[in-house]
Structure formats: C-alpha cells, structure tokens
Amino acid sequence: MLLQNVFRSLPRAIWLAAGAGVSLCLGSVVGPVAAQGPAATPSPGTPAAAIATVPGMPPVVDPANLYSETGSAKLSPAVAGDLPRVYVPHLQSNDVYVIDPATYQVVDKFKVGLNPQHVVPSYDLRTLWVANNAENTKRGSLTPLDPKTGKPGKAIAVDDPYNMYFSPDGKSAIVVAEAMKRLDFRDPVTMQLQYAIDVPRCAGINHADFSIDGRYAIFTCEFSGTVAKIDLVNRKVLGYTQVIQPGRPTKVVKGPDGRDETICTTWKGMPQDIRASPDGKLFFVADMMADGVHVVDGESLRQVGFIETGKGTHGLYPSRDGKKLYVANRGSNKIHGPPKGKGGVSVVDFATRKVVANWPIPNGGSPDMGNVSADGKTLWLSGRYDNVVYAFDTESGAVRIIPVGKEPHGLTVWPQPGRYSLGHTGNLR
C-alpha cells in the first residue's frame, strides 16, 4: 500500500498528536502494556473446561492444547495419496516452484497470477490456493492446486487476495483484501462473495488467528502498528489495540469514539504473523520493527508481555506437539531488505514464554514464511531476500539451503496433520 494511503487512514487522535510535534503512532482501545509474566495455569491434575464452540465448528478435543490434532501421527484421511511437496510462491517472478522434501530438489515449476503471496490449504484440505494479489492492479486471483497431482487449475478472479483464511465453521473463505482494508467472506469452493467486513483502522491487514471457540479472530495491521479483533458471529469489528515495544514512551488521548486510547509518542511497530497459545487465551504477535513477539490477551485485547527474539521478526509456527513456537527472524527491519542479513530462527517455549534456542543461518539470510513438516522434524521457510528456501532440522537447528525463484514468500508444506485448515500457510487444527 502506498505510504500516503496509510497516512490518510489515521484516526483524528493521531493527527492531533502529530500536530503537537510527536511521531505518528496508532492508538489502542485498552491501557498500556502490562508487566510480563507467565500465563496462569490450572493446578496439576485439574482438567481444562470443555469449550463451547460456534455452531458447525469441529469440537476442541483438548482444551489445554488447540494444536492437539496437528500432531505428527494425525494425518487426515482427506490427504491420503497427496504428494509430499513444498510449494513456494515467488512474488516477483509470478510462479510457484515445487520441492520434493525427500531430495531437497526442485521438481516442478509453473506460472500463476500476478504477485503470488501465499499458498493456502483449503478448509477441507482438498485444495491448495495460491493467493495472487496483483499489487496496484485490479487483476487479483486465486489459483487452485490439486495436492494429489501438484498441478494448477484455472484461476478465479477476486479482489486483492493478499492472504486467505477460513471461518472456523468452514462456511466461508476469508480473503484478506489488504489494500482495501477489508475482509471478503466468500464461498469456500466457488469464491462467490457472501459479505464483507470493513476494517478501516487496520492499514496493512494481513495475518490472523482464531479464538479457541471460533467466536472471533485477531488480525494484524502491518502499517498501523495495531491488531484488530473481529466478531465472526455478529460480523463486526470489536476493537483495535496498538502493540508497543516495552520502554517506548506512551500517553493517553481521547480516541475518535470518545474512549481513552494509549498511543506511543516516538515509535510504531509493524506486526506480522500471529498465533494463538495452546490454551487459546493468548495471541503471539510477531513484530518486524520491535525484533520480537508481543503477547496479547485475546479476551481483553490487552498486551501482557513481549519476547525479544531477533532482527525483523516475521513468521510464527507451532511445533507438532504444541509446546514450542518457531519464530522466523527475517534479518532486516525493512520491507525490502538486503540479502544475507542477520536472519535466523528463535525457539520459544509456549509455557514459559522464554527463548530456549536460536538457530542462526551461516553467512546470513532472510527466513520469512513457511511451516513444519508432517513429522515435525523440519521447519521449512522461504528466504525472502536471498531467493532461497531454508530447511531447518528442528532438533539441531542445522539448515539446508535450496536455490529457488525471485522473492519467495508464503510457502506451504504438504501434507500437514490436522482435521481442517483455518488458512494462511497451514493453520490447521
């Protein structure tokens, strides 16, 4: 999105702050950042309460671990016979490379639409959708891939599909129309428009994760430095909050709705990927300007912590046992960064919210988006600025490097364990 469009979207309170001589930072609908501390956990032996989900959503098998059904032994019958492949979209060369994970070799490549951003598994696990958002044009499209053959089908025209998710009941695909600050709810097969939700204060809306019960989703707003909470039942925006790096100065102002907002006065973050904690109570938000992960309470939309990881924090991927979070640090705070930056992967323990390992890339790199192999042994990530793909050993952190096309982005690994997909590069549950 053009920078002037971002500035046009700023609420009145921020323009007033700018007029007073402070830097532009978007506001929060809640108070300042709370002191960091470990999440509250039930007493030993106390079972977690059953989760009442929205109608049509599959049941939550383990309320203490919403990732319980994505363990390495839990491949769905729906993916039986699917080719084991890694699908890599290239933002600049408008194509997808296909890697055989057994040989680490590129075995196929084909053209798709303009500016493919992410490869997104469908809710029913039967289609992989390439989201071609055709930047600065009206030629956006979704290209379906057949995971049994690895071949593309006929593209479907849609507005600005930067990313795509699926409602927890499976009734809608949610196309993230980033430039339009809008979520388009579409038929998950035909992609016919059902309805839309405008998110006017979410400039650069791009990534999301969902509450454990399916009632709401939280989307990141890259160019606003905020996150937005969306009521999926009543189809409306519930609120926004700015994610703020600890130590940054803040002040409270009156927002456009008359409520107090906490704003920063010197700094604005760039939130990227977001993932829920295993118990669904917290959301972990990568921030490429803060070089770490904000922790946000989902119900109150209040920031409760921050975890420093590495430069240009970007992608987030849970381990197959749901105990760790792999954090891709892209190596630069710039949207278009240099090759061979200080990129790597940090491993965060979900329970303690502490970094337990760091995996640097020899000679530098730019790990971005991807996912974990079905067996949990390999973390696959695109090398955004280096035109490569990284395959990290999740035991040792050792990395293989595979040359690919120009500016790889949201690759997906297939097949993945799980009952259904909520979108992105494989947010399965």
The CATH architecture one would assign to domain 3-31+55-414 is: 7 Propeller (2.130)
- What is residue 253's predicted lDDT score, i.e. its pLDDT? 84
Q: For the full predicted model, state whether its pTM sits above 0.95.
A: no
For the record, the structure tokens of 166 come out as 């699926």
Count the neighbouring beta carbons within 10 Å of the beta carbon of residue 34: 14
Residue pair 104/82 in contact (Cβ under 8 Å)? The answer is: no
Alpha-carbon distance values, 79 to 86, 101, 162 (Å): 15, 17, 25
- What is residue 265's predicted lDDT score, i.e. its pLDDT? 77
- What is residue 263's predicted lDDT score, i.e. its pLDDT? 77
Ordered DSSP codes for 220-282: EETTTTEEEEEETTTTEEEEEEE---TT--EEEEE-TTSSEEEEESS----EEEEEE-TTSSE
183 bridge partner residues: 176, 197
10-residue mean pLDDT profile of the chain (429 residues): values are 32 29 38 38 65 98 98 97 98 97 98 98 98 96 98 98 98 98 98 98 98 98 97 97 91 79 84 98 98 98 96 98 98 96 98 98 98 98 98 98 98 98 98
- What is residue 261's predicted lDDT score, i.e. its pLDDT? 75
- What is residue 264's predicted lDDT score, i.e. its pLDDT? 82
**d(C-alpha 389, C-alpha 369), whole Å:** 10
DSSP H or E segment with residue 119:
strand 116-121
- What is residue 6's predicted lDDT score, i.e. its pLDDT? 32
The domain ranges of the chain are 3-31+55-414
Residue pair 270/59 in contact (Cβ under 8 Å)? The answer is: no
286: closest CA among 273, 296, 277, 298?
Answer: 273
